[in-house]
């Protein structure tokens, strides 16, 4: 984490101008000084690199995605009847947390209350919750929180700023067809409701890693969400709890990490990140496994393991976490990531069939050794096989693709000399995947010897397997 992380974060008028018109009516002279506990939590979050995002609620029963109530103009009274049939009999907090932890994820983010207003926890502020309104009558978030603490994994809560159900939420850009009276809204009442629920989450569920806000985009940019007071409440209740807001803008005072919805930092392929600069805060990219956040039965366009791993490493190469959305089908990715500096020997246990390297330009890998034995060209030809590569690499001074027909060529230099020289490319990092038959030996140690000329920003061991988690 850069030293700037420990300094005061000042987001004044200049940042607000960068962020766009009025930045949701936040004041221009705010100064937020994170506590030492918060700084430490940020550093840990920045190093996590991989998390699992769970969108889950009564909308799952419709099999039409989490926006079904809005897109199909479902009357709120009819929609509420879904709760009477919500009974996730196969939910097992211990099993879920164990599976997610085994995947290599360092944190779980789950929807505590989505736009439909249904609370997935036992709240006293609304009867429309999993304990009072469903036959399941169990507090899923409480069980997850206890199990996360037991198994040593962070738990984050998604929380919606907007609401399609309640009368006191001010009329916004969505939720017009859900049966509420025209002109509805009582901001003071709704703001009090949100803060009381946030107090419950931060008081009754143990240490909370982060609050993941969403929905500010539902109101005009000059709407005053009173975020400064809300953020201060969260930091008062749990100073180490991080705050992120999916407002698709450059962060402002009180926020502790910056997220990018369905995009890598600096990109805008999904259309949500236009004008969003990259801040000095820890970064997170959230992405779906198919096309929806909530379960939709028609959407079977799941990304392949290759695509998921590629995206994971690209996020790491941009120094961002990947919060990968887990739907009914899950690909567990076991990741161990660390960086290295020029002249350093990086050692990792060879327990996994795939090795990933993400490297800044330019870099020289002097040699690769297994169990302290430096591999020569012939050995490398037999032991290393390409999974995929999307960039041309440089061998010595000859510019050509390094890999042919999925095999490593044997003319890239003698053992002990520079093995690979990677030149500058449009991307800010390089990624290639190696599969080593030698890794099937018992506990081999793989060493990458880095020569002067570059910095390895990440090296990882990854195992991929398919797994289905029912009831999500």
- 3-class secondary structure, 157: strand
Residues 6+ apart with CB under 8 A from 229: none
Q: What is the pLDDT, as a whole number, of residue 279?
A: 93
Residue pLDDT, tens place only, 143-172: 999 999 999 999 999 999 999 999 999 999
pLDDT-based confidence at residue 40 (cuts at 50, 70, 90): very high
- Rounded CA gap, 76 and 67, in Å? 13
pTM of the model: 0.72
Helix 187-204 to helix 227-237 angle (10° resolution) is 20
pLDDT for the residue numbered 21: 33
Which of 186-195, 223-232, 421-430, 448-457 is predicted with the least confidence, judged by mean pLDDT?
421-430
Beta strand pairing status for 31-32 and 50-54? unpaired
pLDDT at residue 291, rounded to an integer: 86
Instruction: List the beta bridge partners of residue 385.
Output: 407, 435
Length of the chain in residues, anyone? 472
Mean pLDDT, range 409-424, rounded to an integer: 38
The SS3 of residue 373 is strand
Checking if the pLDDT of 316 tops 90, the result is no
The model's pLDDT over 250-298, given as tens digits with 9 standing for 90+, comes to: 998 999 999 999 999 989 999 999 889 999 999 999 999 888 898 888 9
pLDDT at 371: 54
Determine how many CB atoms are found less than 10 A away from the CB of residue 33: 10
From the list 86, 66, 70, 176, the residue with the least C-alpha distance to 128 is 86
Q: Is the pLDDT confidence value at 336 over 90?
A: no
Work out the pLDDT band at 368, boundaries 50, 70, 90.
low
Tokens 């097992």 map to which residue?
92
pLDDT above 90 as % of the chain: 49
* Closest to 208 in 3D by CA, of 154, 163, 172, 260: 154
- Residue 377: count of CB within 10 angstroms of its CB: 15
The Cα 242–Cα 240 span in angstroms is 6
Q: Summarize pLDDT for 45-93 with one digit per residue, the tens.
A: 988 888 999 999 999 999 999 999 999 999 999 999 999 999 999 899 9
Secondary structure class of 114 (helix, strand, coil): coil
In the chain, % of residues over pLDDT 70: 61
Residue 41 has pLDDT above 80, yes or no: yes
Q: Does residue 196 surpass a pLDDT of 70?
A: yes
pLDDT of residue 454: 39
**pLDDT of res. 14:** 29
């Amino acid at each position: 984490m850069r030293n700037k992380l420990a300094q005061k974060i000042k987001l004044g008028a200049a940042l607000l101008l960068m962020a766009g018109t009025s930045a949701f009516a936040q004041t221009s002279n705010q100064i937020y000084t994170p506590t030492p506990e918060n700084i430490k939590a940020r550093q840990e979050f920045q190093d996590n690199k991989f998390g699992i995002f769970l969108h889950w609620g009564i909308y799952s029963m419709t099999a039409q995605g989490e926006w079904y109530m809005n897109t199909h103009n479902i009357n709120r009274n009819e929609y509420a009847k879904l709760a009477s049939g919500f009974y996730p009999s196969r939910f097992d907090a211990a099993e879920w947390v164990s599976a997610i932890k085994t995947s290599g994820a360092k944190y779980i983010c789950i929807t505590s209350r989505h736009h439909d207003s249904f609370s997935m926890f036992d709240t006293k502020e609304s009867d429309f919750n999993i304990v009072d309104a469903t036959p399941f009558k169990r507090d899923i978030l409480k069980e997850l929180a206890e199990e996360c603490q037991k198994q040593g994994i962070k738990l984050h809560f998604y929380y919606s700023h907007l609401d399609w159900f309640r009368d006191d939420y001010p009329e916004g850009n969505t939720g017009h067809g859900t049966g509420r009276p025209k002109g509805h809204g009582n901001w003071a009442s709704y703001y009090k409701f949100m803060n009381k629920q946030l107090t419950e989450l931060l008081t009754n569920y143990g240490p909370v890693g982060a609050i993941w806000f969403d929905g500010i985009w539902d109101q005009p940019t000059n709407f005053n969400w009173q975020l400064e007071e809300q953020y201060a409440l969260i930091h008062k209740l749990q100073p180490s709890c991080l705050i992120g807001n999916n407002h698709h803008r450059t962060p402002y005072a009180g926020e502790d990490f910056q997220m990018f919805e369905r995009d890598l930092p600096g990109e805008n392929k999904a259309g949500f990140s236009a004008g969003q600069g990259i801040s000095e805060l820890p970064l997170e990219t959230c992405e779906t496994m198919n096309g929806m956040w909530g379960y939709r039965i028609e959407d079977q366009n799941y990304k392949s393991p290759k695509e998921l791993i590629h995206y994971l490493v690209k996020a790491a190469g941009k120094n961002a976490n990947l919060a990968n959305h887990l739907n009914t089908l899950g690909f567990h990715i076991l990741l161990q990531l660390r960086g290295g500096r020029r002249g350093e020997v990086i050692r990792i246990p060879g327990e996994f069939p795939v090795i990933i390297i993400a490297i800044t330009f330019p870099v020289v890998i002097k040699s690769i050794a297994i169990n302290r034995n430096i591999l020569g060209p012939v050995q490398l030809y037999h032991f290393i096989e390409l999974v995929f590569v999307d960039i041309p690499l440089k061998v010595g001074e000859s510019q050509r693709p390094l890999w042919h027909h999925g095999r490593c060529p044997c003319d890239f230099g003698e053992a002990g000399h520079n093995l690979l020289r990677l030149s500058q490319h449009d991307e800010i990092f390089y990624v290639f995947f190696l599969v080593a038959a030698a890794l099937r030996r018992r506990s081999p140690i793989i060493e990458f010897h880095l020569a002067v000329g570059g910095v390895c920003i990440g090296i990882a061991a990854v195992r991929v397997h398919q797994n289905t988690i029912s009831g999500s």
